[in-house]
């Protein structure tokens, strides 16, 4: 299950750029979120985790 610790999210949108199938951006809050129907492949998710400057994405 992919999760974002939204307290820590910096709103950089790196995860959305790398893996738009899984992550989306809430412009009103300035934070990313995980889409409901996650169909992204694991490599894409791993790339997003690696690119997150706040290290606030987990996949467990």
CB of 37 to ligand SF4, least distance (A): 19
9 or 45: whose CB is closer to ligand SF4?
Answer: 9
Closest C-alpha among 16, 9, 19, 14 to residue 43: 19
Interface contacts to ligand SF4, rule CB under 6 A: 4, 9-15, 32, 51-54, 56-57
Give the Cα separation of 52 and 21 in Å (integer): 16
Give the Cα separation of 24 and 30 in Å (integer): 11
44 or 54: whose CB is closer to ligand SF4?
Answer: 54
Q: Tokens 């412009």 identify what position? A: 27
CB of 10 to ligand SF4, least distance (A): 4
């Amino acid at each position: 299950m992919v999760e974002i610790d939204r307290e820590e999210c910096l709103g950089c949108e790196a995860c959305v750029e790398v893996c738009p199938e899984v992550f989306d951006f809430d412009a009103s809050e300035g934070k990313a979120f995980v889409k409901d129907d996650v169909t992204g492949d694991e490599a894409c998710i791993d790339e997003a985790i690696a690119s997150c400057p706040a290290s606030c994405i987990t996949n467990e």
